[in-house]
A = this chain, B = another copy of it.
Amino acid sequence: MPEPLRAPGPDLLAALEAALGPGGVVPPEPRHLEEPRGRFHGTAAAVLRPADTEAVATAVRLCAAARVGIVPYGGGTGLVCGQVRPEGPPALILSLERLDRIRALDTTDNVIVAEAGVVLADLQSAATAADRLFPLSLAAEGTARIGGNLATNAGGVNVLRYGNARDLALGLEAVLADGSVHHGLRRLRKDNTGYDLRHLLIGSEGTLGVITAASLRLFPRPAETATAWVETADPATALALLQHLQDRLGETLSGFEIMARRGLDFLAEKLPQVARPIADPGPWSVLVEAGAGHGAGLGPRFEAALADAIETGLAGETLIAQNTAQRDAFWRVRESIPEANRLIGAVTSHDLSLPLSQIPAFIARADATLAAIDPGLRANAFGHLGDGNLHYNTFPAAGRNRAEHDHQRARITECLHDLVDSFGGSVSAEHGIGRLKTGDLVRYGDPAKLAAMRAIKAALDPHGILNPGAVLG
């Protein structure tokens, strides 16, 4: 066990101020001490704002010598409390926001090299300006920063075709716990020279190193895009529709988002300005999108595949977007569901993944589990069905408020997570562990993997200064 961490003393703060220069050490703002769902509130002695990688390395080295904890901070949009530290001696928040340069973009290599603090939407825009696609896309993209996206291995709406954040990273630059800098910004598609430190850092949520920059894959921008809003009878039919479309459209299929009617009703109640594509929606709706290169004739193939799905009963009422405005309107509905959920006020939120084949049975069992706890509870299931990733959230009975369900929260979570585990699923598909799910990691994690994780953490961060309390508790 490492010795306990200390609060930063005046000597350390003075040394950091000297090293980081003007604006390099500032008091925390409210955003640095809370997380989006408002469940956790942190403490912090100060926010460090290094301007470049060398300054990050210096800050880490000083903190390591002083045995002071560091909480790396990107855009602050994480949903599992990886970015605030509620317990222990006040840590220092290490904000990457000043590392916001795009260092290189090459359309032959199809690579963009971006620093950790680049906002995801800005990264997408830089790619677009070069007639390329950077496919990572998620609701928080206007605030989230790429370093945090990588540290948490973010998912989002394009995983079906392009993979998670880790699949987009060719190389990393990172500051390790002793302040050394890993220079790994390679632009290679193949590189079998030793252990894959890149994949170890990605998804480690700042507990093994601080990502300062990444070389990332770019893709051709799809010249043709086809989007549809499709009603379907139930999750099993939605799954059959997914398979049908994969058979017919292959890798062009980039999005397959499922939404229960409940989420669309929440939307109508709380965000009526976001018009639902179908006024009286059926029990399940799917947003389907495909993209292809010049001359692929995607539109007719997409329409034919959906026409066949309607004929065979896999698809019900189906709207094909006729223009960009309609496409954007469909996506706005999908992307507004988390906000409508927030306005209703969830009792519990779950970011689950399951083997695709198990999803229909899981939803049925989850609904029954919930009803057994409290028949009034309302579930809303939505998410990236193509990836087996379901956001299954629970809400108070109509007319009741969250507080009335406070006593049930722990039980709901435990029952649903036990159920996911029994189906071979994961209790954190794309959000990570943070500080919210450290107990789940112990409860459901493979013991040999946990032991290996602890050994790796002790080996790479022997003083335990990097994001203390996150992931491994």
List chain A positions with a Cβ less than 8 A from chain B: 106, 108-111, 152-153, 155, 159, 163-164, 166-167, 176, 180-184, 186-197, 199-200, 202-204, 208, 220, 222, 239, 243, 246-252, 292-297, 301, 304, 353-357, 384, 387-389, 424-433, 437, 440-441, 444-453, 455-456, 458-460, 471-472
List residues of chain B with CB within 8 A of the CB of A239. 108
The CA-CA distance from A450 to B195 in the complex, in Å, is 9
Q: How far is the CB of A373 from chain B (nearest CB, A)?
A: 24
Q: How far is the CB of A234 from chain B (nearest CB, A)?
A: 15
List residues of chain B with CB within 8 A of the CB of A166. 196, 199
**CB pair A194 B471 closer than 8 Å:** yes
List residues of chain B with CB within 8 A of the CB of A181. 448
- Contact of A433 (CB < 8 Å), options: B194, B203, B444: B194
Q: Determine the residue in chain B with the shortest Cβ distance to A181.
A: B448
Given contacts A109-B357, A188-B425, A192-B203, 19 further A-B contacts (CB under 8 A): A106-B357, A108-B357, A153-B192, A153-B196, A159-B190, A166-B196, A167-B167, A186-B424, A188-B353, A189-B389, A190-B384, A193-B427, A193-B441, A194-B203, A194-B433, A195-B471, A196-B200, A248-B293, A250-B296
What are 20 of the A-B contact pairs (CB < 8 Å)? A108-B239, A109-B356, A155-B192, A176-B448, A180-B451, A182-B446, A188-B355, A188-B388, A189-B353, A189-B387, A190-B430, A192-B426, A193-B433, A193-B437, A193-B445, A194-B453, A197-B453, A222-B250, A248-B293, A251-B252
The CA-CA distance from A191 to B246 in the complex, in Å, is 22
Q: Determine the residue in chain B with the shortest Cβ distance to A245.
A: B293
The CA-CA distance from A424 to B106 in the complex, in Å, is 14
List residues of chain B with CB within 8 A of the CB of A384. 190
**CB pair B243 A108 closer than 8 Å:** yes
Can you tell how many copies of this chain the complex includes? Answer: 2
Q: How far is the CB of A316 from chain B (nearest CB, A)?
A: 21
**CB pair A195 B186 closer than 8 Å:** no
List residues of chain B with CB within 8 A of the CB of A196. 153, 166, 199-200, 202-203
List residues of chain B with CB within 8 A of the CB of A152. 192
Given A447-B180, A459-B456: A106 touches B355 (CB 8 Å cut-off): yes
Given A203-B192, A355-B188, A356-B108: A182 touches B452 (CB 8 Å cut-off): yes
**CB pair A387 B448 closer than 8 Å:** no
Q: How far is the CB of A430 from chain B (nearest CB, A)?
A: 5
Q: Determine the residue in chain B with the shortest Cβ distance to A293.
A: B250
The CA-CA distance from A53 to B79 in the complex, in Å, is 38
Q: Determine the residue in chain B with the shortest Cβ distance to A222.
A: B250
List residues of chain B with CB within 8 A of the CB of A458. 459
Given A194-B433, A246-B220, A456-B459: A426 touches B353 (CB 8 Å cut-off): no
The CA-CA distance from A459 to B159 in the complex, in Å, is 33
Q: Determine the residue in chain B with the shortest Cβ distance to A131.
A: B247
Q: Determine the residue in chain B with the shortest Cβ distance to A294.
A: B248
**CB pair B453 A456 closer than 8 Å:** no
The CA-CA distance from A220 to B249 in the complex, in Å, is 10
- Contact of A428 (CB < 8 Å), options: B163, B191, B243, B293: B191
**CB pair A190 B389 closer than 8 Å:** yes
The CA-CA distance from A8 to B370 in the complex, in Å, is 57
- Contact of A194 (CB < 8 Å), options: B109, B424, B449: B449
**CB pair B441 A194 closer than 8 Å:** yes
List residues of chain B with CB within 8 A of the CB of A252. 250-251
**CB pair B388 A195 closer than 8 Å:** no
The CA-CA distance from A471 to B295 in the complex, in Å, is 47
Q: Determine the residue in chain B with the shortest Cβ distance to A389.
A: B190
**CB pair A460 B455 closer than 8 Å:** yes
List residues of chain B with CB within 8 A of the CB of A441. 193-194
List residues of chain B with CB within 8 A of the CB of A159. 189-190
Q: How far is the CB of A436 from chain B (nearest CB, A)?
A: 12
